[in-house]
Amino acid sequence: MTDDGEGRGMHALVERLYPLCRSITGDGVRRTLEIVAESIGLRVHEVPTGTQVLDWTVPREWNIRDAYVKDASGARVVDFAASNLHVVGYSVPVSATMTLDELRPHLHTLPEQPGLIPYRTGYYAETWGFCLAHDTLAGLADGRYEVMIDSTLADGHLTYGEHVVPGRVDEEVLVSCHVCHPSLANDNLAGIAVAVGLARRLAEADPWYTYRFLFAPGTIGAITWLARNRERAGRIRHGLVLACAGDRGPLTYKRSRRGDAEIDRAVRHVLRTSGRDHAVVDFSPYGYDERQFCSPGFDLPVGSLTRTPYAGYPEYHTSADNPDFVSPEAMADTLRTCWEVTRVLDDNRSYLNLSPHGEPQLGRRGLYGALGGRSDTQQAQMAMLWVLNLSDGEHSLLDVAERSDLPFAAVADAARALCGAGLLKECGK
């Protein structure tokens, strides 16, 4: 499928998932995973309420059917059916009549963005509330209001899904995205869509590494996965957290805690040589689930790839983060970047030059002739020379690409050609 086709497919998935009311637990997460499973197979895990997971405990499960605020005429001035952002996530059941003054402490708005509905949650405190546009609140008259939240907060399960693309080795690349936000298209649905697209590409690629895709609620989901997979975590060689993957801003990569892990170098190299506008920022223990995977007890080599970063755009965590805010082209670009990174990770190896004393004669081996007519002839020639010079068993192809400032794909092509001519021998990963 072309980038355009993949972009349209990812955007269609965002549009389909957008109406669902997700939270850190509940049927919205399950339905989201069911839809994802139509494109890639998922193993779905249900972890009971009360399960100890590292320093946390799996919370009670929350589900909601309806919610509203009605004025004296019976009109719904705030209506969950119109937008699931209207209800504070994890609100306990409410059925009451109260004055506007009594209701106000439970109403949340954005005075600086008066036409937008904010996104708010109360996961770990038994409370309730509504979110609405500040303009709507300003138009409410004094009087009595009927308030109803038809929800349940009871023992149940935390749900997450995994998809595995088998590789030639058991060592793994972890790709993680969060599935806990309600109707927010960039944060988090675009990340889910890009992860699905990447999994589908890898399924056709015979990858070297095994790729594990994790679709889990933010924070508590990653913590639960780590608690249940302590031994498996030791197999993770590289990892990437995907979020905010569909806005029109430039790509941003946040390094792992290690700062110089191979995933950090691979993403930085792909972004730099691609010519894309981008930023590379240092790790901080705040943001998405990279902070769980990079916690000191695990210290996994996991970075985070976004477009505009966490909280860096005015639509963030508001009703303006809708399907119109994300674009097929931006998601296709994010997917293409992820794909190029996996090519670096899978193909990065060290080689030994079998003719290291002086430059070997490439012409009589047909290597220069094989380049004739290519638009990138000069680049390909330089890639061969750099690979030969640095193939001492100590340098990887990524080392060569970084030092030469050549695209990794050109360096990897050169290594294959030189191996075919008997001038290189692979030393391993």
Instruction: Report CA Rg, the chain.
Output: 25
The 3-state DSSP class for residue 252 equals strand
**Residue labelled with tokens 């995973």:** 33
Those residues whose C-beta lies under 8 Å from the C-beta of residue 123, and which sit 6 or more positions away, are 23, 24, 59, 89, 90, 220
Q: For residues 69 and 79, what is the distance between their CA atoms, to the nearest angstrom?
A: 7
Those residues whose C-beta lies under 8 Å from the C-beta of residue 181, and which sit 6 or more positions away, are 22, 119, 187, 188, 189, 218
How many CB atoms within 10 Å of residue 209?
24
Q: Which pLDDT belongs to residue 277? A: 92
Tally the C-alpha atoms within 13 A of residue 392's C-alpha that lie toward its C-beta.
8
Q: What secondary structure does DSSP assign to 119-185, as a single string? A: --B-TTS----EE--HHHHHTPPSSEEEEEEEEEEES-EEEEEEEEE--SSS-EEEEEEE---SS-I
The 3-state DSSP class for residue 9 equals helix
**Residue labelled with tokens 């405990």:** 57
The answer to whether residues 346 and 414 touch, using CB atoms and an 8 Å cutoff, is no
The 3-state DSSP class for residue 116 equals coil
Helix axis angle, 397-404 relative to 377-390, nearest 10°?
Answer: 120
**Quick one: three-class SS letters along 70-99?**
ECCCCCEEEECCCCHHHECECCCCEEEEEE
The answer to whether residues 52 and 71 touch, using CB atoms and an 8 Å cutoff, is no
Report the DSSP pairing between strands 392-396 and 130-131: unpaired
Helix axis angle, 262-274 relative to 408-420, nearest 10°?
Answer: 100
**Residue labelled with tokens 């931006």:** 330
How many CB atoms within 10 Å of residue 259?
11
Q: For residues 158 and 221, what is the distance between their CA atoms, to the nearest angstrom?
A: 8
Return the DSSP state at 257. S
pLDDT in tens, the chain (429 residues): 567 899 999 999 999 999 999 999 999 999 999 999 999 999 999 999 999 999 999 999 999 999 999 999 999 999 999 999 999 999 999 999 999 999 999 999 999 999 999 999 999 888 999 999 999 999 999 999 999 999 999 999 999 999 999 999 999 999 999 999 999 999 999 999 999 999 999 999 999 999 999 999 999 999 999 999 999 999 999 999 999 999 999 999 999 999 999 999 999 999 999 998 999 999 999 999 999 999 999 999 999 999 999 899 999 999 999 999 999 999 999 999 999 999 999 999 999 999 999 999 988 888 875 555 556 778 989 999 999 999 999 999 999 999 999 999 999 999 999 999 999 999 988
Q: Which pLDDT belongs to residue 170? A: 97
Domains of the chain: 3-59+157-346 (3.40.630.10), 62-154 (3.50.30.90), 350-428 (1.10.10.10)
How many CB atoms within 10 Å of residue 372?
7
Angle at 286 between CA 337 and CA 235, to 5 degrees: 60
Q: Answer whether 0.85 is exceeded by the pTM.
A: yes
C-alpha dihedral sign at 30, 34, 39, 44: positive
Tokens of 37: 């499973």
